[in-house]
């Protein structure tokens, strides 16, 4: 009988880890603090590496049904709209190749697909409304106690509970993450309403002094995901529910290209939110006894390369592969970190560098070929080659 693994956190990384472990024959149980798994989050990018992982988990067909293919992306001057790099994509996305370089997807759609897959493959393994209160380890067993009074035991536990990880706090003894001075604004605009503002194609990044705005279509072009990131000294909470207004965001982007200012004005009433971006240093060691971390709990990263979700997806798959055939949970966790530490550290550093480049005082100095976003190798990952 293989070790039974507890997973704290039912985000993207935790669910992929659960599916991958289940595929390798490990009993899994996933515990999520939210009482209901709802429709939260923004659009995100599934890189070629993340898509290979989802294919290895036999999820390629549902992904193709719910994701949007973007052939190219233009990087544009914030004021003039001049093309600094890339090309316009005026296709409708229907020409999806057999092996796309990347797809755009609503986080809620991806999350729902993973939840449904886990319910089908490991019925009853996902438990909502379980906020972790305490952890204890004895004789190679882990005991997790939740705020609702439930106590469970397992042979190992994985903390996939984000940048504010409770698992990390308990075993690594760290405080809260630090505010980066960056605030993100997000809105979803119906595709037909946004269409007149998409002269630069279905995906574009406008870059300007201290600010950036990224927008691309999702849900087969029925929605436009808009995310603006602003360097500011004003602290904003990290959650996904702090309301903002088009007037507030519009004031921050005053003087930007008309397509940007018009899009912000089109944000649905009550549909614009903001959140502070928080970060903390990556850990040197991801394991304490029978407990390990993955995703943002182990290696938080800034959003400027759009690879946060992809790193969590890669982590979840490699974790299961690392544990398969190992003599102990601890050995598997160590093997997992050894396989992932260098890549995640590189992506975290390059994400920070990309942010500095796109928020430079003069966007005219932006050289995409020398920027991390122009390095295709960062977006690639071959799960079959990890342990060769």
Domain residue ranges of the chain, discontinuous segments joined by +: 5-41+105-177+280-385
Mean pLDDT over 346-363 rounds to 93
State the pLDDT at residue 270: 87
Euclidean distance between CA atoms 166 and 164, whole angstroms: 6
79-99 as b/e: b if 16+ CB within 10 A: eebeebbbebbeeebeeeeee
**Lookup result for tokens 């998409």:** 198
- C-alpha–C-alpha distance, residues 240 and 120, integer Å: 29
Q: Is 175 exposed, middle or buried (0-12, 13-18, 19+ CB in 10 A)?
A: exposed
pTM for this predicted structure: 0.95
pLDDT digits (tens, 9 = 90+) for 5-27: 999 999 999 999 999 999 999 99
CA distances to 65, 76, 84, 96, 98 from 224, rounded to whole Å, are: 17, 17, 22, 19, 24
- pLDDT confidence of 39, banded at 50, 70, 90? low
Could you report the per-residue pLDDT of 273-328, keeping only the tens digit for each?
998 888 888 888 999 999 999 999 999 999 999 999 999 999 999 999 999 988 89
CA distance 278 to 171: 20
Q: Which structure tokens are listed for 20? A: 């991958």
Average pLDDT over residues 258-271: 95
- The DSSP call for residue 386 is T
Band of residue 38 on the pLDDT scale cut at 50, 70, 90: low
Q: Which fold has domain 5-41+105-177+280-385?
A: FAD/NAD(P)-binding domain (3.50.50)
Place of tokens 């600010």: 211
Q: What does the DSSP 8-state code read for residue 140?
A: T
The tokens describing 311, both together, are 């790193």
Residue 293 near residue 162 (C-beta atoms within 8 A) = no
CB of 319 closer than 8 Å to CB of 336: yes
């Amino acid at each position: 009988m293989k070790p039974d693994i507890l997973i704290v956190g039912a985000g993207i990384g935790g669910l992929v880890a659960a599916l991958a472990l289940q595929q390798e024959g490990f009993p899994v149980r996933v515990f999520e603090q939210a009482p209901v798994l709802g429709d939260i989050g923004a659009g995100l990018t599934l890189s070629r590496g993340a898509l290979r992982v989802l294919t290895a988990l036999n999820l390629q067909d549902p992904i193709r049904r719910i994701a949007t293919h973007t052939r190219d992306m233009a990087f544009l001057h914030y004021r003039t709209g001049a093309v600094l790099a890339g090309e316009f994509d005026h296709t409708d996305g229907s020409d999806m190749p057999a092996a796309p370089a990347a797809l755009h997807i609503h986080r809620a759609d991806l999350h729902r697909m993973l939840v449904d897959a886990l319910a089908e493959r490991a019925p009853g393994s996902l438990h909502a409304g379980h906020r972790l209160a305490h952890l204890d380890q004895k004789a190679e067993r882990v005991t997790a106690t939740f705020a609702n009074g439930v106590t469970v035991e397992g042979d190992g536990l994985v903390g996939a509970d984000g940048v504010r990880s409770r698992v990390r706090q308990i075993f690594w003894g760290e405080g809260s993450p630090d505010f980066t001075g960056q605030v993100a604004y997000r809105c979803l605009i119906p595709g037909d309403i946004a269409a007149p503002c998409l002269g630069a194609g279905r995906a574009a990044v406008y870059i300007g002094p201290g600010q950036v705005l990224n927008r691309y279509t999702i849900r087969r072009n029925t929605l436009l995901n808009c995310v603006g990131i602003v360097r500011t000294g004003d602290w904003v909470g990290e959650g996904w529910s702090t309301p903002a207004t088009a007037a507030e965001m519009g004031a921050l982007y005053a003087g930007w290209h008309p397509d940007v200012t018009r899009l912000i004005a089109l944000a649905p009433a009550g549909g614009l939110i903001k959140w502070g971006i928080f970060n903390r240093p990556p850990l040197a060691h991801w394991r304490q006894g029978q407990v390990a971390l993955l995703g943002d709990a182990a290696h938080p990263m800034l959003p400027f390369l759009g690879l946060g979700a992809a790193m969590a997806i890669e982590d979840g798959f490699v974790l299961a592969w690392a544990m398969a055939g190992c003599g102990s949970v601890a050995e598997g966790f160590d093997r997992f970190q050894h396989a992932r530490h260098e890549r995640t550290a590189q992506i975290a550093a390059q994400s920070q560098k990309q942010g500095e480049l796109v928020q430079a005082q003069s966007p005219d100095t932006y050289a995409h070929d020398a920027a991390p976003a122009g390095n295709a190798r960062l977006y690639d990952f071959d799960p079959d080659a990890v342990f060769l």
